[in-house]
């Protein structure tokens, strides 16, 4: 199909080429041969009157014109997806839809792990890919690549449909034999005297919600270890005198699995409000609405 002289199939090829910056990998993802993808790039260059991608070593670098096209291209492809969704019905029993979800491993553990047995029964052929918080997660969401994101209100933009999903408190967690936790509480002095394990999410915005709140307090903690995952933090305090600050629901889950203990924070910390968001171009997508409904249904049982 052509529109103003452009084969519309080339739009998907251009999207993959700009994402992969590599002809062979883009070809693999589009399920075509490498020569076919090279031919698509040649036709795109002729149509736009621009090289679009320039070879640099083993990778290709997008030209300024290609970079200016990419957000528009993402919007167009997202709107096409929405159009197709409006013309079709989502039938979870038979759908092989793949959902791309941006969220932390904490949310995967406390929400999606609970959901999976149910989804396996009512939608046995759907699949999921989760993307952890990073410098690129929200960029990919803005470009329409992610179906939904579940993130703290503190980090959420307001230019797409969103809703308050639930609130989460934080607790102090340590080895069950850590003496400063013996009385079921911890003093402010013991909290700051102990070595701490913190979760660092990326480099540009390295702090989690809890770390943002703790840094605002101004008091310096003795940080002895940084880990890239909320699920790793409770594991590495076992057998040590170190502490970590965790989501209360995740701490309760891990107290059933490993030898840890949680106690209330020694000072007031505001609860974390979790947002559920989808891209503005996906509001009419019945599969997205179905997934959001399933997530909402899981919240009361948390």
| Mean pLDDT of the 65-70 span | 90
Q: 205 pLDDT band (50/70/90 cuts)?
A: low
CATH 1.10.10.10 residue window(s) in the chain = 2-87
Task: Report the pLDDT value the prediction gives residue 34, as an integer from 0 to 100.
Answer: 92
Give dist(CA 293, CA 114) in Å, integer: 14
Give dist(CA 35, CA 155) in Å, integer: 43
CATH 3.40.190.10 residue window(s) in the chain = 98-167+273-301, 170-270
Task: Report the pLDDT value the prediction gives residue 225, as an integer from 0 to 100.
Answer: 97
Task: Report the pLDDT value the prediction gives residue 250, as an integer from 0 to 100.
Answer: 97
CATH code for the structural domain at 170-270: 3.40.190.10
Q: Which of the residue ranges 32-41, 150-159, 227-236, 270-279 would you say has the lowest mean pLDDT?
A: 150-159
How many angstroms separate the Cα of 79 from the Cα of each of 75, 82, 237, 283? 6, 5, 47, 11
| Mean pLDDT of the 199-207 span | 68
Residue 2 has pLDDT above 60, yes or no: no
pTM over 0.85: no
pLDDT digits (tens, 9 = 90+) for 98-154: 999 999 999 999 999 999 999 999 999 999 999 998 778 888 888 788 999 999 998
Residues near 24 by beta carbon (within 8 Å), at least 6 away in sequence: 34, 37
H helices within 88-170, ranges in order? 105-107, 113-122, 137-142
pLDDT digits (tens, 9 = 90+) for 209-230: 898 888 887 788 999 999 999 9
CA angle 79, 85, 87 (to 5 degrees): 110
pLDDT digits (tens, 9 = 90+) for 153-185: 988 888 889 999 999 999 999 999 999 999 999
277 Rama class: left (phi>0) / alpha (psi -120 to 50) / beta: beta
Residue 1 has pLDDT above 50, yes or no: no
Task: Report the pLDDT value the prediction gives residue 3, as an integer from 0 to 100.
Answer: 46
CATH number for domain 98-167+273-301, candidates 3.40.50.1370, 3.40.50.10540, 3.40.50.300, 3.40.190.10: 3.40.190.10
Give dist(CA 283, CA 93) in Å, integer: 22
Task: Report the pLDDT value the prediction gives residue 83, as an integer from 0 to 100.
Answer: 66
Residues near 273 by beta carbon (within 8 Å), at least 6 away in sequence: 152, 153, 164, 165, 166, 167, 168
- CATH class of this structure's domain 2-87: mainly alpha
Which helix (H) or strand (E) is 199 found in, with range?
strand 195-199
Taking the CB of residue 211, how many other CB atoms lie within 10 A of it?
A: 17
Residue 41 has pLDDT above 60, yes or no: yes
How does DSSP assign 242-295, residue by residue?
-EEEEEHHHHHHHHTTSSEEEEE-SS--PPEEEEEEE-GGGTT-HHHHHHHHHH
Q: 38 pLDDT band (50/70/90 cuts)?
A: very high
- Asked whether 30 and 15 are in contact (CB, 8 A), the reply is no
Mean pLDDT (the chain) is 89
């Amino acid at each position: 199909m052509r529109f103003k002289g452009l084969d519309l199939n080339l739009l998907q090829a251009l999207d993959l080429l700009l994402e992969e910056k590599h002809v062979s990998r883009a070809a693999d993802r589009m399920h075509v041969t490498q020569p076919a993808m090279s031919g698509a790039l040649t036709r795109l260059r002729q149509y736009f009157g621009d090289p679009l991608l320039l070879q640099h070593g083993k990778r290709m670098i997008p030209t300024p014109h290609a970079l200016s096209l990419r957000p528009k291209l993402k919007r167009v492809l997202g709107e096409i997806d929405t159009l197709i969704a409006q013309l079709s019905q989502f039938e979870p029993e038979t759908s092989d839809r793949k959902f791309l979800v941006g969220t932390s491993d904490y949310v995967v553990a406390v929400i999606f792990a609970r959901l999976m047995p149910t989804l396996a029964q009512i939608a046995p052929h759907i699949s999921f890919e989760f993307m952890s918080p990073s410098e690129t997660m929200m960029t990919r969401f803005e470009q329409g690549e992610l179906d939904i994101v579940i993130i703290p209100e503190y980090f959420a933009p307001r230019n797409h449909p969103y809703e308050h999903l639930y609130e989460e408190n934080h607790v102090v967690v340590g080895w069950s034999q850590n003496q400063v936790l013996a009385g079921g509480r911890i003093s402010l002095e013991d909290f700051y005297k102990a070595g701490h394990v913190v979760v660092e999410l990326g480099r540009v915005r390295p702090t989690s919600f809890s770390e943002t709140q703790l840094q605002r307090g101004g008091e310096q903690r003795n940080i002895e270890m940084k880990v890239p995952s909320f699920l790793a933090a409770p594991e590495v305090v076992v057998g040590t005198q170190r502490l970590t600050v965790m989501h209360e629901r995740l701490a309760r889950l891990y107290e059933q699995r490993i030898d840890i203990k949680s106690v209330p924070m020694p000072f007031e910390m505001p609860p974390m409000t979790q947002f559920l968001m989808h891209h503005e171009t996906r509001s009419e997508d019945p599969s997205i609405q179905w997934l959001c409904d399933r997530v909402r249904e899981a919240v009361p049982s948390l």
